[in-house]
């Protein structure tokens, strides 16, 4: 993949993740109903949304980190050991900044 196509992939991922995070935030900011049975159900939903939110935030951080590496001309170089990251790995995980060994 060329650098510009990698950037396009990462920027699209970033946009998708930001949108997802914004809609999770919107959902959890919604006022809760007074019915106690509904409240229990809503709390459960909130917990699931929290978990998805945390996961989304982590992914977003990884994508931004990868974009930063791209800007610095360090994309594809492992942040842990400085070795080249396997191109096949980057194709599957374009946001990764670690080689297989360091990611373990």
The residue from 78, 90, 94, 96 that contacts Zn ion (CB under 5 A) is 78
Q: How far apart are CA 50 and CA 79, in angstroms?
A: 29
Check residue 99 for interaction with Zn ion (CB under 5 A): yes
Closer residue to Zn ion in complex, CB, 68/80: 80
String marking each residue 40-69 x if it binds Zn ion according to CB under 5 A? ------------------------------
The residue from 1, 33, 68, 80 that contacts Zn ion (CB under 5 A) is 80
Those residues whose C-beta lies under 8 Å from the C-beta of residue 67, and which sit 6 or more positions away, are 7, 10, 11, 14
Nearest to 24 by CA among 44, 51, 1, 2: 51
Question: In the complex, what is the shortest distance from the CB of residue 20 to Zn ion, in angstroms, rounded to a whole number?
Answer: 29
Q: Which stretch binds Zn ion (CB under 5 A): 23-31, 33-41, 59-67, 93-101?
A: 93-101
Check residue 74 for interaction with Zn ion (CB under 5 A): no
At what angle are helices 3-29 and 36-71 packed, to 10 degrees? 160
Token look-up 């049975």 returns 37
Could you count the other beta carbons within 10 Å of the beta carbon of residue 60?
Answer: 18
Q: For binding to Zn ion (CB under 5 A), which residues are involved?
A: 78, 80-81, 99, 102
């Amino acid at each position: 993949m060329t650098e510009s196509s990698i950037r396009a992939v990462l920027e699209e991922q970033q946009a998708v993740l930001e949108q997802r995070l914004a809609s999770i935030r919107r959902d959890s900011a919604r006022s809760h109903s007074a019915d106690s049975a509904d409240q229990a159900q809503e709390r459960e939903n909130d917990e699931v949304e929290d978990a998805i939110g945390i996961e989304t935030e982590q992914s977003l951080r990884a994508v931004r980190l990868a974009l930063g590496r791209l800007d610095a001309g360090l994309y594809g170089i492992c942040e842990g050991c400085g070795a080249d990251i396997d191109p096949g790995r980057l194709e599957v995980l374009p946001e990764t900044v670690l080689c297989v060994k360091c990611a373990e």
